[in-house]
Chain A
Amino acid sequence: MRSLKRNIISTAVITTVALPFTILIIWSFSNRWFYPELWPRQWGLRAWNYVFGTAGYQIIGALVQSMLVALATALISVAIGIPAGRALGLYDFRGKDLISVILTLPVIVPPLCVAMGLHFWFIKMGLASTFSGVVLVHLTFCLPYSVFVLWGVFSNYNPDYEEQARSLGATSWKVVARVMLPLTFPGIMVAALFSFLLSWSQYLSTLIIGGGKITTLPVLLFALMGSGDRPVAAAVSIVFVVPAFVALLFSARYLGGKSIAGIR
């Protein structure tokens, strides 16, 4: 009885998670699919030919643009986040609660409000419609997020190893490169992947600050949704989701097994 209930629930969960993707995949491989047929009348690669052929230049360009923005955001988030996470995770000092509040707000308050405020200022500083401007606006929520992840990582980190390395004559740089970074590497990867994913799926703040000049994949997908070509919209949706899944599989590797010690 219990196992029956479990099976029903597992099936329901898997179906619910898989259904949207299944439908997107079927649509992307359909050439002709009329209402109310349950199955495409003619299967084919028209949408995929369009995505990688006819409009390939535009779509690959958007893919690269999205990738570069997300990579730059993740890299900067982690580079600034590591020292902050280290201090917050290892040491006890006054103002920690306040810092926690300051970092929580950008994670929760929608980027729409911030992007609209920053836009006018960014225009004056020549940052609007530029790559750096878009990365800066993504940093407002990616950076606090990665600080929180790294805060957790460093509260489980034992700095005594650094002491030992130092007593054996290692320089500060060596301690960081050979002791701290290797020991916290899985956690750092998770922080980077989360920042990457947050930046990757961002639409409105990119549109406001990028002003249509920085065409990331979601910006392009929105334009395509308006055209009403369902197979193409489905194919671009899949192109948009696959790198996120690759990042997830990658993080599953770091989240699981032995490396889980880094983040607990």
Chain B
Amino acid sequence: MNTYSKSLSTDTDARTRESPGFPATSLLVGPALLVVVVLFGGGLALGLIQSLTQLPTTGIDSLTFEHFANVLSDPDFLNSLMLTLYISATSTAIAAALSIILALVLVSLLEKYRLVHFIFQIPLTVPHLVIAVAVVFMLSPTGFFSRLAIKFGLIGSSAAFPLLINDRWGVGIILAYVWKEIPFITLMILSVLRHTGVELLEVGRTLKAGPWQRFRYIILPTISPSLGAACLIVFAYTFGAFEIPFILGQTYPMMLPVWAYKNYSDVDLLARPEGIATGIIIAGVIIVAIVLSQTLIQAARRRGTVL
């Protein structure tokens, strides 16, 4: 993930050359674009068509908003949406706050950067499914922490252990996401801090800026573009991912992706277009979030506001 951020930061100051002409560049970029447009664009378009037609088998002959109307008027949808927004926003916020603290501590450990970098790659590499399984083993009423609590005499039986997985507040889901996403956000912030932050902080110190002033006027403006981009990616991911809420979530209300798949795989084939419609709504929310944040950032830049 960090190379992705690096590539984003380096392509602006790259030594780009004159294009060898439209035919040559389109021959180079064309295949990749074609695959993405056909498979990704096609997938979304076909999903949209299926969620707008009467039955997936009859074709486009009867255009209808019925499936979307059914989804949007379903009280389960609203509950799922609220739960999903709450879990995504909370895990992103907690992960971002802890990442800022970690990055600030780690930036002074520059000589050990490669070790830190390596340790942080571990959670990035672990599939979400594996961390979900591990969280069950740790946080379930008969899990590791419950055993620890009994050992130290904090609780008498497993029934006294607070419900942390398949629970109402999504604690297990949030913890799994926070564990998984902190390294990503931290590495995104660190790569900026390492390049520009250290010198600016020196300047701030010689100008006698206090710790809060240094944070507010030097660190925050330096890291905010990467931090914002990282948070957006994490939010979008947690909003649309399936594995962790499927294993760690409760049966009602479900997070949106789980609810979408449940409808999609329902034996009742009429529920299928509603599952697809929910998927389209998820994609829509994420695309709107991307466009909105980009517009806000650009508007702020134009006004000259330091974010």
Interface residues, chain A, with chain B CB atoms under 8 Å away: 5-6, 9, 13-14, 16-17, 19-21, 23-24, 27, 35-38, 80-81, 83-84, 86-93, 99, 102-110, 112-118, 120-121, 136-137, 139-141, 143-145, 147-149, 151-153, 155-156, 159, 190, 194, 197, 200-201, 203-204, 208, 218, 221-222, 225, 230, 233-234, 237, 240-241, 244-245, 247-248, 252, 255-256, 263-264
Contact = CB atoms under 8 A, between A and B. Distances in A.
A114 B3 contact: no
A37 B134 CA distance: 18
Given A24-B134, A203-B242, A252-B121, A88 B10 contact: no
24 contacts: A20-B138, A23-B137, A84-B32, A87-B29, A92-B16, A92-B17, A104-B290, A106-B40, A110-B236, A110-B240, A112-B240, A112-B242, A112-B257, A112-B261, A113-B44, A114-B43, A120-B50, A140-B43, A143-B35, A145-B4, A156-B14, A204-B257, A221-B133, A222-B129
A102 B39 CA distance: 12
The CB with the most chain B CB atoms within 10 A, among A80, A89, A112, A116, is that of: A116
Given A108-B290, A113-B44, A240 B240 contact: no
Interface stretch (B71-79, B163-171, B206-214, B274-282): B274-282
B46 A197 contact: no
Interface string B126-157: 11111101110110001010111011000001
A116 B14 contact: no
Contact of B43 (A117, A144, A255): A117
Interface in B226-283: 232-233, 236-237, 239-243, 247, 257, 260-261, 264, 275-276, 279-280, 282-283
B287 A105 contact: yes
A36 to B, nearest CB: 4
Interface string B42-56: 111111101000001
A204 B242 contact: yes
Nearest to B114: A256
Interface stretch (B20-28, B61-69, B89-97, B216-224): B20-28
B306 interface: no
B47 A114 contact: yes
7 closest A-B pairs by beta carbon, nearest first, are A152-B7, A117-B47, A110-B240, A201-B127, A155-B14, A20-B134, A114-B43
A203 B146 CA distance: 30
Contact of B179 (A14, A20, A38, A190): A20
B128 A201 contact: yes
A190 B37 CA distance: 24
Contacts of A149: 3-4, 7
Contacts of B31: 80, 83-84
A139 B39 contact: yes
Interface in B106-140: 108-109, 114, 118-119, 121-123, 125-131, 133-135, 137-138
B102 interface: yes
Contact of B29 (A20, A84, A117): A84
B243 A90 contact: no
Contacts of B17: 90-92, 159
A117 B286 contact: no
A38 B287 contact: no
Nearest to B242: A204
Contacts of B239: 110
In this complex, the member of B14, B18, B118 whose beta carbon has the largest number of chain A beta carbons within 10 angstroms is B14
B247 A225 contact: yes
A248 B275 contact: no
B283 A110 contact: yes
A263 B3 contact: yes
A110 B237 contact: yes
A256 B259 CA distance: 43
* Residue among A117, A118, A208, A245 with most chain B CB within 10 A: A117
Contacts of A245: 122, 125
A5 B105 contact: yes
B301 interface: no
A91 B191 CA distance: 25
A244 B157 CA distance: 38
Given A117-B48, A144-B40, A264-B10, 9 more contacts: A80-B31, A83-B27, A86-B28, A88-B11, A112-B282, A117-B50, A197-B125, A237-B130, A247-B125
Interface in B80-100: none
B142 A35 contact: yes
A44 B272 CA distance: 45
A9 B102 contact: yes
Contacts of B247: 225
A156 B6 CA distance: 11
Given A9-B102, A93-B22, A109 B236 contact: yes
A2 to B, nearest CB: 8
